[in-house]
Amino acid sequence: MDKFVVHKSSLKGEFVVSGAKNASLPIMAATLLTDDECILHNIPDVSDVRTMVRILENLGKVVQWTPGTMRIRSRRLRNYVAPYRLVRTMRASFCVLGPLLAKRKKAKVSLPGGCVIGSRPVDLHLKGLSQLGAELIVENGYCVGSAAGLAGTHIFLGGHFGSSVLGTANVLMAATLAAGETLIEYSACEPEIVDLGVFLKKMGADITGEGTPLIRVNGKRQLHGAEHTVISDRIEAGTLIAASLATRSALTIKNIYPLHITSVLECARRMGAVLRLKRNSLSIKPPRRLHPVNITTLPFPGFPTDLQAQFMVALCLADGVSLITEKIFPDRFMHVAELQRMGARISRSGPYAIIEGTRSMYGAEVMASDLRASAALVIAGMVAHGDTEILRIYHLDRGYGRLEEKLKPLGAKIKREKQ
Ligand code: EPZ
């Protein structure tokens, strides 16, 4: 197991954002909808992608991955089981369920189990797929299903916390091969769903409305192979914006889609940053003193929950009191206790965190609890006086490809060591 040792750093220069993990995973799952070859570009080299490769290989796909390009072909083996040993390490594996039911008519996919960021049920996935005609039962920790013939219908996919990103992905993928028309109402509008829609259309699917709360799908008898370049990672971009604010470092962030991060840019502006956007590049100049702001996480185009922890670090150093309200995963606050150990002044009550800005934080030995919390601790380490040791950095590697190697040329003092 690796750990990071981080020293106070100030950053300068250009950072190029990688492909989006959360777009890549469902798109890789979508290749199960065809036996033809699919070619994907810009897939990030992160451990969650490697997990999805293992799941696809287990399901009979042959995956060739050279830097930049992934080719996915089919073998004769047509397994339909995604086992617990793979699924438990990554919840996104559950989005093979829809494509398996639609294409192979059978699926046995482990339920993902508990998650450190809070309760993450899959009831909406199951509801949508059942309404399409799949027969699903949950037994011995697995969702076991069959689908003699899926048929399009009108599905309301809203839940207690609004739309579901991977729930929408699962139902959308299954609907592409269902007979007739499917309407998915209260579908997630995230850019990753739009990118999945674009890929499915390249495979021959008939979809309209992706990126809106009402997606319409006209089912096809079969889909074919396709080639696609995955969008860039808005969460990696946002993480760099938070790092720039917290460390008060002027940066240029390249390979971004500004429309994917409008709420984040708005937040950075309210914190006092001066932003210059030029096509797919952002120059950010943080203020000397950060303004406190209130942030509420919401489904897209609202402020993403996946950037809550990173922005919390910047707010720890603002001139005043900020309030964060977590509306997607109300328990996603594991990083609070670790930041408190580094001198942050945060009090938490239910889905609220009140952050009282302080002038400085100090290094400590801290524990990464999940992917985005790890990124927050890296940022905290770069602003803290003294050494910060971040244990269990494998969480970070799930979604950021060798982040330390991308940050070092900017001046970050980060070392990866054996724990
Ligand atoms: C996706 O998870 C992302 N994962 C998460 O990113 C992200 O935090 C989340 O969307 C929200 O934006 C991937 O794309 C691989 P949801 P997902 O279903 O789809 C509730 C990261 O750090 N819900 O949109 O699993 C759920 O509990 C990860 O990269 C139900 O009630 O999230 C939550 O409150 C972490 N029933 C809300 O909906 C369901 O069946 C939104 O969750 C499904 C979800």
Q: Identify the residue whose C-alpha is closest to ligand 1 atom 8.
A: 306
Q: Which atom of ligand 1 is nearest to the CA of 328?
A: 34
Ligand 1 centroid distance, CA of 164 (Å) = 6
- Determine whether the shortest distance from the Cβ of 221 to ligand 1 is under 6 A: no
Which helix (H) or strand (E) segment holds residue 15: the answer is strand 13-16
In angstroms, the CA 102 to CA 98 distance is 6
Give the distance (Å) from ligand 1 centre to CA of residue 298. 11
**Which atom number of ligand 1 is nearest to the Cα of residue 92?**
15
Q: Which of 166, 190, 307 is the pocket-test mutation for ligand 1 (most atoms within 8 Å of CB)? A: 166
- In ligand 1, the atom with minimum distance to the C-alpha of 117 is 35
Q: Which atom of ligand 1 is nearest to the CA of 371?
A: 22
Q: Are 362 and 343 in contact, with CB atoms under 8 Å apart?
A: yes
SS3 393: coil
The answer to whether the beta carbons of residues 232 and 18 sit under 8 Å apart is: yes
- List the chain pLDDT tens, one digit each, 419 residues: 899 999 999 999 999 999 999 999 999 999 999 999 999 999 999 999 999 999 999 999 999 999 889 999 998 777 999 999 999 889 999 999 999 999 999 999 999 866 677 778 899 999 999 999 999 999 999 999 999 889 999 999 999 999 999 999 999 999 999 999 999 999 999 999 999 999 999 999 999 999 999 999 999 999 999 999 999 999 999 999 999 999 999 999 999 999 999 999 999 999 999 999 998 999 999 999 999 999 999 999 999 999 999 999 999 999 999 999 999 999 999 999 999 999 999 999 999 999 999 999 999 999 999 999 999 999 999 999 999 999 999 999 999 999 999 999 999 999 999 98
371 within ligand 1 shell (Cβ under 6 A): yes
Q: Give, in order, the Cα–Cα distances in Å from 159 to each of 231, 275, 328.
A: 27, 36, 11
- Catalytic residues, by residue number, are 115
Distance in angstroms (rounded) separating the CA atoms of residues 368 and 377: 7
Of all protein residues, the one whose alpha carbon is nearest to atom 28 of ligand 1 is: 306
Order of strands across the sheet that contains 2-7: 365-367, 388-391, 2-7, 413-418
Among protein residues, the one whose CA lies closest to atom 9 of ligand 1: 165
Instruction: Please provide the size of the chain in residues.
Output: 419
Residue 165 beta carbon below 6 angstroms from any ligand 1 atom: yes
Determine if the pTM surpasses 0.95: yes
Please say whether the beta carbons of 179 and 151 come within 8 A. Answer: yes
Q: How far apart are CA 93 and CA 82, in angstroms?
A: 8
Which residue type occupies 212?
Answer: T
Q: Which residue's alpha carbon is nearest to atom 33 within ligand 1?
A: 328
Ligand 1 mutation pick, 123, 165, 195, 335, max ligand atoms within 8 A of CB: 165
Residue 75 CA to ligand 1 center (angstroms) comes to 31
User: Are 366 and 5 a contacting pair, CB within 8 Å?
Assistant: no
111 Cα–ligand 1 center, Å? 14
CA dist., res. 164 & res. 169, Å (int): 9
> Cα(388) to centroid of ligand 1, in Å?
30
Nearest ligand 1 atom to the CA of 48 is 15
CA 117 to ligand 1 center in whole angstroms: 10
Cα(23)–Cα(41) distance, integer angstroms: 12
